[in-house]
Amino acid sequence: MKAAIYSSYGSPEVMEIMDVEKPFIKDEDRVLIKVVSASVNKYDTLYRKGYLPTRMDNGLIKPKTQILGIDVAGTVEAVGKNVQKFKIGDRVFGSCVGSHAEYVCPKENFLTFLPNNATFEEAAAIPCTAQTALQALRDVGKIKVGDKVLIYGASGGVGHFAVQLAVYFGAEVTAVCSTSNIEWVKSLGAHHVIDYIQEDFAYDGKKYDVILDAVGKRTFLSCLRSLTENGIYITEHPLYPKYHPFQLMISSIVGSKKAKIHLANPNESDLDILRVLIEMGRLRPVIEKCFPLTDIVNAHRHMENGRTKGKIILKIE
């Protein structure tokens, strides 16, 4: 099968398309998927660059796992004997390491059915970033009706889902983005939009129950004055915090104000929630650009420019 391989750490040019062995079902709870679409996430560029925290996980000198990708959408081609939910031919999406390839073998409990009103490309945009946004707001932020919520980086992968989910939960949503994305972010449902190029929300005197930094560019201290008495600051820092003692320091308390680092926990239950919200029309993934797998280098370059609107998708099939 064809796959995007990186055998060394470095720039996007280390990525190349190669023929590798097609995976097969080794564990009885796994599903073989013929991949139609996958997405490119910050995770992929960090691992490819070989930042120290990722090297601790994937090899200090060269990568042990050489196929990137953590989101997948495709059709079921085979199932393990203990798989109950899926059958051959089902259209599915979910979380799976190594999805930048023609076939993958994820666990059954990391998948769900394709929304009936979504394409494979739209479904591939959902798993990592939408689950990150959902869990940050619901589980960490304990969001409730009437809360004042600020989303920093509202036009990005996590951010554009977070805006929509916060609105769904009944919060009053303030979104922070660049000038060019203001009208688009308003169309996602944000009640207020701040142009970070023109204004720093930290100095306008307004208070928020939850501040979600969806791009990891603000600090707890810089947001402290903007939190209510019992407010919480959540950052989606892209590097694994267990390897960063300094980052762990922000998971602290100042008075009754809290700061937390959140990383997504892929699971079938939350994928089902997101699928239902999409079928209800309450949530929609936004795709900025699709690249063929053969153009993986340019997909990584585009991801690294830091100005992605929504998601970047790879078309595998």
The string of pLDDT tens digits covering residues 34-55 is 999 999 999 999 999 998 888 9
Domain contains 111: yes
User: Model confidence over 271-305: pLDDT tens digits?
Assistant: 999 999 999 999 999 999 999 999 999 999 999 88
User: Model confidence over 150-174: pLDDT tens digits?
Assistant: 999 999 999 999 999 999 999 999 9
Residue 226 sits in the same domain as residue 188: yes
Domain contains 280: no
- Listed in sequence order, the DSSP H helices in the chain are 42-49, 52-58, 120-124, 127-135, 157-168, 182-187, 220-223, 245-248, 268-280, 296-304
Two tokens, residue 24? 């097969």
pLDDT band at 219 (very low <50, low <70, confident <90, very high): confident
Owning domain of residue 18: 2-126+285-315
Residue 31 sits in the same domain as residue 103: yes
* CATH code, 223: 3.40.50.720
* CATH code, 20: 3.90.180.10
Residue 162 sits in the same domain as residue 54: no
Residue 121 sits in the same domain as residue 153: no
Residue 197 sits in the same domain as residue 292: no
Domain contains 252: yes
Count: domains in the chain: 2
Two tokens, residue 64? 């042990």
Domain contains 224: yes
Domain contains 279: no
Look over the chain and give the mean of its residue pLDDT values, rounded to a whole number. 92
> Whole-angstrom Cα distance, residue 129 to residue 251?
21
Domain contains 274: no
pLDDT of residue 179: 94
Domain contains 212: yes
> Whole-angstrom Cα distance, residue 106 to residue 31?
6
Residue 174 sits in the same domain as residue 108: no
Residue 64 sits in the same domain as residue 173: no
Q: What is the pTM of this model?
A: 0.93
Residue 121 sits in the same domain as residue 28: yes
CB contact burial 54-65 (16+ within 10 A = b; e otherwise): bbeeeeeeebee
> Whole-angstrom Cα distance, residue 2 to residue 21?
9
Domain contains 254: yes
